[in-house]
A and B are shown apart, each in its own frame.
Chain A
Amino acid sequence: MSKRIDVSDLNIYYGDFLAVEGVSMAIEPRSVTAFIGPSGCGKSTFLRSLNRMHEVIPGARVEGKVVMDGQDLYGSDIDPVDVRRTVGMVFQRPNPFPTMSIAENVLAGARLNSKRMRKSEADDLVESSLQGANLWNEVKDRLDRPGAGLSGGQQQRLCIARAIAVKPQVLLMDEPCSALDPISTLAIEDLIQKLKSDYTIVIVTHNMQQASRVSDMTAFFNIAGTGKPGKLIEMSDTASIFSNPSQKATEDYVSGRFG
C-alpha cells in the first residue's frame, strides 16, 4: 500500500530561477520523513515536485529523476494526473471546497472525476476516510453541512480525509499545522503516527519539536543566500540529526543558533 521514492540529482526551476539544486534522497515506505530548514530554502518546492504539482505554476520545470516503484515519475509516458492520484497532498492552509458539504468534500476526488459509486459504497468511503482522519466522531451528525463551517483544525483533518479517500500510496504534507492551534496540532500529529502504518508520509515543518516527535527520518535543507538555490545538507534518522548531526550547519540550525 505504501511506496518507496528515490530522488536523484533533482534540479527545480521557476522559469530561469534555479530554486533547488542537486537533491538526491531515498524516502522509505511506511515511515515519516520530515523536511526542515529556514524559510525560502525550497522545502515546499521540493515537496511539490514529488507529485508533479510543481509544474502547475507557469514556467516551472524540473530536471532529474524521481523514481517510485521503478518508474520515473517524470518519464515521458507518465500522466501527471495519475501521479497525483498516487501521491496525495495536504496544504499549509486548509482548503476545503466551499461549495461542498463535509461528505462531498471527502468524496471530492471521486466526484470531481465523475466516478460512479453506489450510495452505500460512498457512505462507507466517507466514514472510513473520516475515521482515518480522526474526524468522524466530531462530524458524523452533520455530514451534509458545509465543510467551510468547521474550525481550522477540523478543516485540515477534513483535507486529510479528502486526500486519503482517493487511496494514495504516499501523502505529502506542507506545514499542515502552521495555521493551527496547539490542540489541533496534537490531533494532527497523532493522526500522522496512525497513518504511517499505511502510507509513506513526507512532512514539511518549521517546528523542530514536531519533527523530532513525529518523524523517523529528517532531511535538513539550507540556502547559501537569497537568489542562491536551496540544497539538501544532510539526511539521516531523526535521532542523529537532532543529537549528533554530521554537518556544522545542521547543528547550528537544530540548536537554534541560526534561522
Chain B
Amino acid sequence: MTQLTTPPRPAVGLGTTRHLPAWAPYAALAVSAAFSGAVLALAGFNTAGWLVLTAVVFTVLLVSASRAVEGPRKATDRFVTSLVVGAFLLALIPLVSVAWTVVSNGAARFDVEFFTYSMRGIVGEGGGAAHAIAGTLIITAITTVISVPIGILTAVYLVEYGRGSVARTITFLVDVMTGIPSIVAGLFSVALFTLLLGPGVRLGIMGSVALCVLMIPVVVRSTEEILRLVPHELREASYALGVPKWRTVVKVVLRTSVAGIGTGVTLAIARVIGETAPLLVTLGVTSAINYNPFDGRMSTLPTFAWFSYATPTLPVEASIDRAWTAALVLVILVMLFNLIARIVSRAFSPKTR
C-alpha cells in the first residue's frame, strides 16, 4: 500500500490589487495629446498625424503605467480595450463624415419647392425632385411587393419542407443570385423586356424587375436564418395540439419570427433603394413626374442625383445642390424605413412580461 502524501499547498493569498485611479485614462489622453501636438509642431502640424500619434502614445503610456501598477493581466485588458475603442472610432469616421457631408451640402435645397416641383421645364435654379421621390417610392414599393412574398415563401420551403436535391439546387441558385453585380441585373431586365416588347423600351416595371433580382436573394437568406432560429419545440408543441403543418408554419413559425423577418426585409429595401446603375439602363432619366410604371421613363433619387451631377445646367451650383439634396432625402427615407420597421417589430416580438 502506497502512502499518499499531498504536497503542501501554496497559500492562496487574495492579495490586495492596486488600481490605477479612474481618471488615469483621461490624464493619459491629455498628456499624449499635448505631447504629440508639441512633437508635430516642430515637424509641421497636420490633424491626421496628430490623431494617430496621440492614439499610439496614449496606448503605450496607459499600458505601461498599468503594467507597472496593476500587473500584466490588467495591462493586457487595457491594451485590448484601447484597440477596440480605436477600431470603433476608426469605423465611425466614414459614417460621421458621410452624414456630415450629405447634411451640410444637402441643406441648401432642402426646401418645400424641392418636394413639390419636378424638373420639367426648369433650367438653372429652382425646381425639385418630386418626380424622383415619387419614382423611388413607386419602384421600391413594386419591388418589395414582388420580392417579399417570393423570398419568404422560398425560405419557408427551404426550412420547413425542402429536402434533398431540389432544396440543394435552390440554395445554390440563391447563392449565385446573391453574387450578381447590380448592372447585370439591370441588363437582364433590359434583355427580358426587349424580347417581350421590342428594343428601346424604358419602363418603371423594368427597373422593379431588375431590383427584384437583387432583393429576392437577400430576403430569402435573412428569412431562412430567422426561421431556423425558431425552436423545434414550438413546432412540436403545435403539432401535438392537433394543428396541421401548414397552420403551424403560418401561425407559429412565421408569427414567432415576424419581427426578425421585418428587419431582414428592411435591410433588403435599404440595399435596393440606393441602386443606380440597373435603373439607368432600365428606366432612363426624365424630368417630369410619371406615376405609371407601365408607361414611359421614370426618375428615382439615385439616378436624379447622378444625372444632376453628371450633366449640370447653368448655373452649375444649382444642379450640384439638387444632387446633394437628393442624396440627403434618400438617406432620410432609408432611416424612416428603419424606424418604422423597428416600431413594427417591437410590437410583434415575443415578450416575457
Listed in ascending order, the chain A residues whose CB lies under 8 Å from chain B are: 51, 53, 56, 58, 81-82, 84-86, 88-89, 91, 93, 95-99, 108-109, 111-114, 145-146, 148-149, 159, 162-163, 166
A148 contacts B252, C-beta separation under 8 Å: no
B243 contacts A112, C-beta separation under 8 Å: yes
A162 contacts B241, C-beta separation under 8 Å: yes
Most chain B beta-carbon contacts within 10 A, residue among A53, A86, A97, A111: A97
16 contacts between A and B (CB under 8 A): A53-B240, A56-B236, A56-B239, A81-B242, A91-B233, A91-B237, A95-B234, A97-B238, A97-B252, A98-B352, A99-B256, A108-B238, A112-B251, A145-B353, A146-B350, A162-B241
**Interchain nearest-CB distance for B45 vs A (Å):** 58
For the complex, give the distance between the alpha carbons of A181 and B308 in Å.
70
A112-B252, A162-B237 known; 5 other A-B pairs, CB under 8 Å?
Answer: A86-B242, A88-B241, A98-B350, A98-B352, A149-B353
Partner of A53, one of B236, B252, B256: B236
A112 contacts B256, C-beta separation under 8 Å: no
Which residues of the partner chain B approach A146 to less than 8 Å between Cβ atoms?
350-353
Partner of B243, one of A81, A149, A159: A81
Partner of B234, one of A97, A109, A149: A97
Which residues of the partner chain B approach A86 to less than 8 Å between Cβ atoms?
242
B233 contacts A163, C-beta separation under 8 Å: no
Asked if B178 is at the interface (CB within 8 A of a chain A CB), the reply is: no
Which residues of the partner chain B approach A108 to less than 8 Å between Cβ atoms?
238, 241
Listed in ascending order, the chain B residues whose CB lies under 8 Å from chain A are: 163, 231, 233-244, 247-248, 251-252, 255-256, 348, 350-353
Most chain A beta-carbon contacts within 10 A, residue among B236, B237, B242, B252: B242
B256 contacts A98, C-beta separation under 8 Å: yes
Which residues of the partner chain A approach B239 to less than 8 Å between Cβ atoms?
53, 56, 84
Q: Which 4 pairs between the two chains have the least Cβ-Cβ distance?
A: A85-B242, A98-B350, A109-B241, A89-B240
For the complex, give the distance between the alpha carbons of A111 and B238 in Å.
11
B247 contacts A114, C-beta separation under 8 Å: yes
B237 contacts A97, C-beta separation under 8 Å: yes
Which residues of the partner chain A approach B242 to less than 8 Å between Cβ atoms?
81-82, 84-86, 109, 113, 166
Closest to A165 in B: B241
**Interchain nearest-CB distance for A143 vs B (Å):** 14
Which residues of the partner chain A approach B240 to less than 8 Å between Cβ atoms?
51, 53, 84, 88-89, 91, 163
B350 contacts A163, C-beta separation under 8 Å: no
**Interchain nearest-CB distance for B152 vs A (Å):** 17
Which residues of the partner chain B approach A162 to less than 8 Å between Cβ atoms?
237, 241
**Interchain nearest-CB distance for B326 vs A (Å):** 40
For the complex, give the distance between the alpha carbons of A56 and B241 in Å.
13
Closest to B237 in A: A95
Which residues of the partner chain B approach A149 to less than 8 Å between Cβ atoms?
351-353
For the complex, give the distance between the alpha carbons of A176 and B163 in Å.
32
Which residues of the partner chain A approach B243 to less than 8 Å between Cβ atoms?
81, 109, 112-113
For the complex, give the distance between the alpha carbons of A242 and B328 in Å.
79
Partner of B241, one of A58, A148, A163: A163
Do A95 and B231 contact each other (CB < 8 Å), given the known contacts A51-B240, A84-B240? yes
A112 contacts B241, C-beta separation under 8 Å: yes
Partner of A84, one of B241, B252, B255: B241
Do A113 and B247 contact each other (CB < 8 Å), given the known contacts A146-B351, A148-B350, A166-B241? yes
Closest to A80 in B: B239
Which residues of the partner chain B approach A85 to less than 8 Å between Cβ atoms?
241-242
For the complex, give the distance between the alpha carbons of A51 and B242 in Å.
10
B233 contacts A58, C-beta separation under 8 Å: no
**Interchain nearest-CB distance for B348 vs A (Å):** 8
For the complex, give the distance between the alpha carbons of A74 and B233 in Å.
23
Which residues of the partner chain B approach A93 to less than 8 Å between Cβ atoms?
233
B237 contacts A99, C-beta separation under 8 Å: no
Which residues of the partner chain B approach A81 to less than 8 Å between Cβ atoms?
242-244
B350 contacts A99, C-beta separation under 8 Å: yes
B244 contacts A148, C-beta separation under 8 Å: no
For the complex, give the distance between the alpha carbons of A96 and B238 in Å.
10
Closest to B230 in A: A98
For the complex, give the distance between the alpha carbons of A81 and B246 in Å.
12
Partner of A91, one of B163, B236, B351: B236
For the complex, give the distance between the alpha carbons of A113 and B239 in Å.
11
For the complex, give the distance between the alpha carbons of A162 and B240 in Å.
10
Most chain B beta-carbon contacts within 10 A, residue among A85, A98, A114: A98
For the complex, give the distance between the alpha carbons of A163 and B242 in Å.
10
